[in-house]
């Protein structure tokens, strides 16, 4: 036991000596670079090391009481609610002049919330399965001219559904402050023609589209995790009997052994399923409810209930 204790003390002594040599070396390098006095350079080297240790970050409410945190959240919610209500009338801020529509014009799209699916009957008695999309707090956040983005069309940044500002950086909040709108949960870009440019802060509604139009809806699909080939790719599987042992849901052979001696890229195999962006193309708009600001589109839409989707022209 005494030998082990002596060995540990000897190791700690070597570690301390190494740290002293490291600090002395850093001080010598700093004196050589900055041409300072020995004492000043030595203090500067220690100050540099200490400053790296004390650098840390905290949450915004870490040093606030529960009452102050609740009060700040309440005040912010009321302020953003009033800010959103003030943008309901675009005539207050003198919007940019509206240009006439021309063949080939490309308009901006919307950011909406997927509410779910319901059946819808037409006047001739036909039944259609439709998805309800609610346009909630949708505003134009930024307008990037084509001269600035070095592209052949201007870019409109659109945001939807107000979000809390407490967990976003100041650099991100500057974008919304310039537009005069609350922070958004989702923002996306649309390429528009020169006659379809909108002023930042302009509100967008479900009436942006008309019944009979066709739209493309983009959203992130529901994540299924790691799945096998039968669920992921729809494989038939192998027989349940006739000598099969623990291979009923397996893919089987994935390549031949001799000639290629490799597995070709893109082979359908088990892996992660879902949680990727998909676009449903050419969905017909059956109905637009201006009172509740909802759009009824034909068929299913990617994503889970209450997810945010991007609606653009087809």
Given this model, what pLDDT does residue 49 score? 45
If you average pLDDT over residues 305-314, what whole number do you get?
Answer: 95
Residue 7 has pLDDT above 80, yes or no: no
Residue 310's pLDDT is what? 97
What is the full DSSP assignment across 129-171? Answer: EEEEEE--SEEEEEEE-HHHHTSSSEEEEEEEEE--STTS-HH
Q: Quick one: which of 123, 307, 296 has its CA closest to 209? A: 296
How far is residue 81's CA from residue 46's CA, in Å, rounded to a whole number?
51
Q: Quick one: which of 133, 124, 200 has its CA closest to 161?
A: 133
Categorize the per-residue pLDDT at 193 as very low, low, confident or very high, splitting at 50, 70 and 90: very high
Q: pLDDT band for 18, please (50, 70, 90 cuts).
A: low
Burial 17-33 (b: 16+ CB within 10 A, else e): eeeeeeeeebbeebbee
Mind listing the pLDDT tens digit for each residue in 174-190? 999 988 899 999 999 99
Q: C-alpha 160: how far from its chain's center?
A: 12
C-alpha triplet 140, 135, 151: angle, nearest 5°:
35
Q: What is the pTM of this model?
A: 0.75
314/311 Cα distance (integer angstroms): 9
Residue with the bigger pLDDT between 224 and 37: it is 224
> pLDDT tens for residues 136-163?
999 999 999 988 888 889 999 999 999 9
CA distance 301 to 207: 20
Mean pLDDT over the full length of the chain: 84
CB 198, CB 133: distance < 8 Å = no
Is residue 154 within 8 A of residue 162, CB to CB? The reply is no
Confidence check: pLDDT of 225 > 50: yes
Q: How many residues does the chain have?
A: 314
For 34, the token pair is 């900055």
Per-residue confidence (pLDDT) for residue 83, from 0 to 100? 84
Q: What is the pLDDT of residues 260-303, one digit of tens each?
A: 889 999 999 999 999 999 999 999 999 999 999 999 999 999 99
């Amino acid at each position: 036991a005494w030998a082990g204790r002596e060995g540990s003390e000897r190791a700690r002594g070597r570690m301390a000596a190494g740290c002293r040599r490291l600090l002395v070396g850093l001080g010598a390098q700093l004196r050589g670079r900055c041409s300072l006095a020995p004492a000043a350079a030595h203090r500067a080297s220690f100050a540099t090391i200490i400053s790296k240790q004390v650098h840390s970050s905290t949450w915004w409410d870490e040093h606030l009481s529960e009452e102050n945190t609740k009060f700040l959240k309440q005040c912010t919610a009321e302020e953003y609610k009033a800010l959103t209500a003030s943008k309901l009338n675009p005539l207050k801020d003198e919007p940019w002049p509206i240009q006439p529509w021309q063949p080939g014009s490309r308009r901006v799209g919307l950011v909406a919330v997927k509410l779910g699916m319901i059946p819808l009957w037409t006047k001739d008695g036909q039944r259609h399965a439709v998805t309800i999309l609610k346009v909630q707090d949708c505003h134009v956040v930024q307008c990037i001219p084509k001269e600035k983005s070095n592209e052949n069309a201007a870019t409109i940044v659109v945001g939807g559904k107000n979000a809390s500002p407490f967990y976003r950086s100041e650099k991100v909040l500057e974008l919304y402050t310039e537009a005069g709108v609350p922070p958004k949960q989702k923002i996306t870009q649309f390429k528009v023609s020169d006659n379809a440019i909108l002023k930042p802060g302009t509100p967008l509604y479900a009436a942006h589209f008309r019944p009979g139009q066709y739209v493309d809806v983009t959203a992130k699909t529901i994540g299924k995790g790691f799945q096998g080939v039968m669920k992921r790719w729809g494989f038939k599987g192998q027989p349940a009997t006739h000598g099969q042992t623990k291979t009923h849901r397996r893919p089987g052979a994935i390549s031949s052994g001799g000639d290629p001696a490799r597995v070709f890229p893109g082979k359908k195999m088990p892996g992660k399923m879902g949680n990727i962006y998909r676009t449903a193309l050419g969905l017909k708009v059956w109905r637009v409810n201006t009172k509740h600001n909802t759009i009824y589109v034909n068929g299913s839409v990617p994503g889970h209930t209450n997810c945010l989707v991007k609606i653009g022209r087809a």
